[in-house]
Amino acid sequence: MKLHLNIKQVLPLIALIAIIYSSCKKYDNPPPVFEEPITRSTIQRRVMVISIDGLTGSELRTIAPPAIQGLRKTSKYTYDVLRGSVANDVASWASMVNGVSYTKHQIKNDDFLPTPKENSHEAPGAYRNAFDYILQYKSLKTVIVTPWANLRNYLRIADIAPIVSTDAAVKDSVVNILNTQTQLGAIVVNFRDVQAAGDNGGFVATNPNYKNAVIKADEYVGNIVTAIKARKSYANEDWLIIVTTNHGGSNLDPKPGFLIAYNKNLKEEEAKKSGFNSVNFTSESINATVPNDNGLYDFGADKDFTVQMDTKFNVASYYPQFLGKSTPLDASFTGWFWMQEGGNQWNLEFGGVKNGGAGKQQLGIPVNLTSGWHTLTMTVKYVNATTRTASAYVDGVFKNSYNVSNVKNINTNELLRIGARGNSSDFYAANLEIFNVALDAATILANKDLKDITKHPNYNNLIGYWPLDEGTEGVFGNKAPGAGYNMLIAGNFKWNSLGTDVPATVTADTNASGKSIVLTPTAVGATMLYWLNINILPEFGIDGNPFLNQFEIEFIK
């Protein structure tokens, strides 16, 4: 059967098609004169990472080799890349290529396999490396060139992974790849001779072996940069070259490293920490704990101790435990903790039920917690079997005390912890200090605003000192003079730069800006993905800082 349409039927149909077509278009086509130049869309981003293993930031600054110095002139750079909580060769490289800190990936052995976390039955998390994401999201080739077989095997997903055994062969191989390969996306280059030279005489510029190895590695960097600029496709490529190190110093004694991020459009600028930086504890899931203190922070039934911490509460929350070492607050409560009660009271809580002592013993201290920074201090002084006094001080001033002897032993297997528990809160913290003596009132008052902890008269009694001001990674470093343990940060935490909003115990940085950049090896993997326009999704678990996103005005035209 034939379908016959008359003109009255056709005209409405044509009109309908026109309406549908026009409704699918958001804008009219602009006149050709306003279109972007065709060359803009053909520029392809490329990234190369060159790691000179074992080269410390301080010695690179001293030696100042010419090729790397040349790159620095159009770069964002730092000579102070912080090491991770574990920073041997394996852990540092895993952090670099994964963009994930050791506290998450738990990779530290030569097999590049994660190890179980201490005192935890959880299986270690599995994190993908930057090459894996690049191969998923981009039609670009990835390359690893290293004389270290273990690293080559770890990054075996790479499209190109030549087997080489010397730094000279690494350089030759990279130059050959640049001369012959197209559609390169990400290249990771690893030089190892500097680290070997440091092991023979020291990781210092005054060691001729070390200095000469640095100069030779710099020559290789220059050869590689020359090869990049000689590529036939260079005019249509936008290269980011990151020269860095897995860590400074030796594998057993790692030191701060360096990072130079070069691009022809960048202005020379040192990336550095600005102002005071702190983690915002906004939920129960955001907390920091000492995974294993080997009993150092257990004070039993008769030990003296002092705990002090600066706090800034942003909201008047009710009953969150925000610092302590205790079980949950229930019928078997054992240990000690500090609690926020609204905006106007700080509670000290002690219990010892699990050890045969009494339940909750509470001392409430009036203080306007939400009025800015305050220094809170608690001392515990054992007098005899029937008198053990807990005292509270606010901003150095004694407030009240009570007898906690009936709780008996406050030891617990629970972890020393900062962060809301029981209920959520919203606060910042700084300068957590634990002394193995009960400081007297005069000492507390005289040192309430002390900015240099080494000047404290009881400095040698510190068994825990966490400034809580790293500004990056998931570790609060313990700076106590003797024994002590780092705290690991958990949850979806965020470091905030508070500028000059600092506690009395911190010297304000009057030149502080809103841009605070503290780099660790994790910045390498994160920046690789950022440069290749791969969206870093929360589920990636990446905690590295893709810090070039703060300078886009310089290279996005």
pLDDT digits (tens, 9 = 90+) for 474-492: 788 899 997 778 898 888 8
Considering the domain architecture, whether residues 438 and 307 belong to the same structural domain is answered as yes
Query: What's the whole-number mean pLDDT along residues 16-40?
Result: 37
239 pLDDT higher than 50: yes
Structure tokens at 297: 């922070």
Q: Do 408 and 458 share a structural domain?
A: yes
The reply to whether 373 and 447 lie within a common domain is yes
* Structure tokens given for 185: 């996306």
Largest CA distance in the chain: 110
Domain co-membership, 259 together with 287: no
pLDDT one-digit tens code per residue, 519-545: 999 999 999 999 999 999 988 989 899
Residue 194 clears pLDDT 50, i.e. is over it? yes
- Is 150 inside any structural domain? yes
**pLDDT value at position 473?**
76
Range of the domain at 537: 41-272+518-555
Asked if residue 421 is part of any domain, the answer here is yes
Confidence of residue 21 (pLDDT cuts 50, 70, 90): very low
For the chain, what percent of residues have pLDDT higher than 90? 77
Residue 543's pLDDT is: 84
Residue 25 forms part of a structural domain: no
Whether the CB-CB separation of 486 and 477 falls below 8 Å is answered with: yes
Residues 259 and 325 in one domain: no
Residue type, 36: E
Cα separation of 462 and 481, whole Å? 7
Residue 188 has pLDDT above 60, yes or no: yes
Q: Classify residue 11: in a domain, yes or no.
A: no
Q: Averaged over 403-428, what is the pLDDT?
A: 96
Q: How confident is the model at residue 120 (pLDDT cuts 50, 70, 90)?
A: low
Note whether 473 and 547 are same-domain residues.
no
Q: Tell me, what's the pLDDT at 498?
A: 86
Mean pLDDT across the chain: 90
pLDDT band of residue 278 (cuts 50, 70, 90) is very high
Q: Is the dihedral of CA 460, 463, 468, 473 positive or negative?
A: positive
Q: pLDDT over 70 for what percent of the chain? A: 91
Lowest mean pLDDT among 25-29, 62-66, 155-159: 25-29
CB 283 within 8 A of CB 413: no
Q: Is the pLDDT assigned to residue 16 strictly greater than 70?
A: no
Cα angle vertex 502, ends 501, 504, to 5°?
Answer: 135
Q: Which of 270-284, 384-398, 446-460 has the lowest mean pLDDT?
A: 270-284
CATH (domain of 492): 2.60.120.200
Which whole-number Å values give the CA distances from 318 to 35, 309, 322, 345, in the listed order? Answer: 59, 20, 11, 10
Tokens of 212: 């000469």
* Within a domain: 73: yes
pLDDT band of residue 514 (cuts 50, 70, 90) is: low
- Model confidence at 195: pLDDT above 80: yes
pLDDT digits (tens, 9 = 90+) for 201-224: 999 999 999 999 999 999 999 999
**Rounded average pLDDT over 115-138:** 83
Cβ count within 10 A of residue 68: 25
Q: Which residue has the tokens 């001369």?
A: 179
The mean per-residue pLDDT over the stretch 29-50 comes to 62
Confidence of residue 298 (pLDDT cuts 50, 70, 90): very high
- On the question of pLDDT at 27 being above 90, the answer is no
pLDDT at 1 over 50: no
* Same-domain check for residues 451 and 549: no
The reported pLDDT for the residue numbered 455 is 96
| pLDDT reported for residue 116 | 79
Quote the CA–CA distance of 536 and 522 in Å, as a whole number.
Answer: 13
> Are 82 and 545 in contact, with CB atoms under 8 Å apart?
no
Q: What is the pLDDT of residue 471?
A: 83
pLDDT at 42: 79
Do 258 and 284 fall within a single domain? Answer: no
Name the token pair of 148.
Answer: 């270290």
Match 């179980």 to its residue by tokens: 116
Cβ count near 9 (within 10 Å): 9
CA 481/CA 464 separation, integer angstroms: 8
* 542 and 466 inside one domain: no
pLDDT at 500: 84
Other beta carbons within 10 Å of 91 = 26
Structure token digits, residue 133: 């994401």
Cα separation, 195 vs 307, whole angstroms: 41
Burial classification of residue 400, based on how many CB atoms lie within 10 Å of its CB (0-12 exposed, 13-18 middle, 19 or more buried): middle
Query: In a 3-state reduction of DSSP, which class is residue 442?
Result: helix
The pLDDT score that the predictor gives to residue 3 is 40
pLDDT of 426 higher than 80: yes
Answer whether residue 130 is part of any domain: yes
The SS3 of residue 459 is helix
Comparing 117 with 17, the larger pLDDT belongs to 117
Of the two residues 313 and 120, the one the predictor is more confident about is 313
pTM across the whole model? 0.72
Asked if residue 59 lies in contact with residue 210, where contact means CB atoms within 8 angstroms, the answer is yes
- Secondary structure of 141-198 in HEC code, one letter for each residue: EEEEECCCHHHHHHCCCCCECCCCCCHHHHHHHHHHHHHHCCCEEEEEEEECHHHHHH
Look at residue 185 and tell me if it is in a domain.
yes
In the 8-state DSSP scheme, what is residue 539?
G
Average pLDDT for 365-377: 97
- Tell me the sheet residues that pair with 318: 341
Residue 26 has pLDDT above 70, yes or no: no
Residues 314 and 232 occupy one common structural domain: no
Any domain includes 15: no
Query: Residue 282: its pLDDT value, please?
Result: 94
218 and 82: one domain?
yes
Tell me the average pLDDT across 315-333: 96
* Residues 312, 254 share a domain: no
Give the pLDDT of residue 38. 35
Q: Give the pLDDT confidence score for residue 135 in this predicted structure.
A: 96
CB 536 within 8 A of CB 529: yes
- If one counts every other C-beta atom within 10 angstroms of the C-beta of residue 330, the result is 11
pLDDT score of 35 more than 50: no
- Domain count for the chain, please give it: 2
CATH number for the domain including 106?
3.40.720.10
